[in-house]
Amino acid sequence: MADNPLVFRSFQTTPRERAEAGSAIEWLGKRFAARLEVKALDDPADGNAVRFDGSYIAATFGNWIFSFGAQDRWWGPGWDGSLILSTSARPVPGFSFQRKQSVPFSWPILNWLGPWKLEGFAGRLENSRFVSHSKLLGARFSFRPNRDLEIGLSRTAQWGGEGRPEDLDSLIDLILGRDNRGSEGISLSNEPGNQLAGIDWRWRPPLFRSCNYAIYGQIVGEDEAGGFPSRPMGLGGLEHWGGAFAGSYRVYLEVADTSLDFYHSSVRYNKAYEHFIYKTGYRYKGRPLGHTMDNDGQSASLGWLWSGPAGIAWGGHLLYARLNRDGEDVLPPGGNLISLDRKSKLRRILFFHQRQLGRGKLFFQAGAAFWDSDQGDDTDLILGLSWNLSL
């Protein structure tokens, strides 16, 4: 349960609503696996008082896992956000696949990629959208050419839906990137979809290796030019780790910007996560599918985590964010969902503690969020408590 659900969600698992109660049962066999998770919620924002998020059925064939369910995905190296796919929104139910073991290619021409992973999914978004029954597709390929560098390539797309083409030709155009008006044979009536694509990395430099640090970043384009992503958003961070007090710790500093052409002196507002056909935008059930700030935001955060023996952990972060920086929104049903029709600033401090309690795992979090906007100031108290009991 939570006294106030976290509007700004990070990689750490946190409640989505004011009060939640649920249970889950899992089964794992030699080739098949399944999980059924049921939650009951008090006054949910999307009206779904009973949810099955986290449930799935899966099967293994060779080195591949195929599944159907509603599973969270976090694509990218960030701790407090991902520009292309995060856990800000509820998981979109659908089919997925992923490589089970990331062993390198045996072919000499490709073995320089090192260990690699490939995953993808296809799901259907909610009915209550400007284009109902539209599909969400995604694929991610990541590889480690050496032990100090990991690179990820991600791509997602909204495709089809009521009144939009869903034939094979449309899907091929989408895959090949022929999805902008002006491309050969592409008009408003047959434009196949809305895409995002980008690259991310985590690199441990060779200098000062004893300091145990890594640099990470993510660039995601909202548009396409010359076959490559363009008009990007950006995220970057620095993390350090080590040992202390009979445990291990990790500290990170992260910044992000969700306006397009973020590195220019004149950025593009009200464009990220929006689309003139899919007017509900790159969102699902009232939350952004990408970074939790939604569009036109800037954030800086300092976080820490300490893990000790017997499953004990302490952590938290300090966050400063400028949301919806131009103070304007596109016309509904699109627009920034986190800071509606106004500029706002968010300052937040958050702590959490985790430990074993009996046969279960106790998770407690506490903090405060201070909002400052042209419509006045507000303070939110954050209190959360959960206990996952294994039977």
Cα distance between residue 124 and residue 159, in whole Å:
10
Which CATH number is correct for 68-158+191-389, 2.60.120.1440, 2.40.160.130, 1.10.10.60, 3.40.50.300?
Answer: 2.40.160.130
Domain range summary for the chain, segments of one domain joined by +: 68-158+191-389
Residue with the larger pLDDT of the pair 184 and 69: 69
pLDDT of residue 89: 93
Give residue-wise pLDDT tens across range 57-110.
999 999 999 999 999 999 999 999 999 999 999 999 999 999 999 999 998 889
The mean predicted confidence, pLDDT, of the chain is 90
pLDDT band for position 369 (50/70/90)? confident
- pLDDT at 194 > cutoff 60: yes
pLDDT-derived band at 381, boundaries 50, 70, 90:
confident
Q: Which residues contact 81 (CB under 8 A, 6 or more apart)?
A: 10, 88, 235, 254, 256, 291, 292, 293, 299
Rounded to a whole number of angstroms, the distance between the first and last alpha carbons of the chain is 20
pTM of the predicted model as reported, rounded to 2 decimal places: 0.92
Can you say whether the dihedral through the CA atoms of 122, 127, 133, 138 is positive or negative? negative
Helix (H) or strand (E) holding 360: strand 360-373
- Give residue 13's pLDDT: 62
If pLDDT is split at 50, 70 and 90, which confidence band does 272 have?
very high
Which of 133-147, 252-266, 369-383 shows the lowest per-residue confidence on average (mean pLDDT)?
369-383
Minimum mean pLDDT among 24-28, 320-324, 383-387: which range?
Answer: 383-387
Q: Is the pLDDT of residue 6 over 70?
A: no
User: How many C-alpha atoms does 28 have within 13 Å on its Cβ side?
Assistant: 0
Inform me whether the pLDDT recorded for 375 exceeds 90.
no
pLDDT at 182: 63
| Lowest-pLDDT choice from 10-19, 197-206, 222-231, 324-333 | 10-19
pLDDT at 10: 79
Q: Is 203 left (phi over 0), alpha (psi -120 to 50) or beta?
A: beta
Higher per-residue pLDDT: 86 or 18 = 86
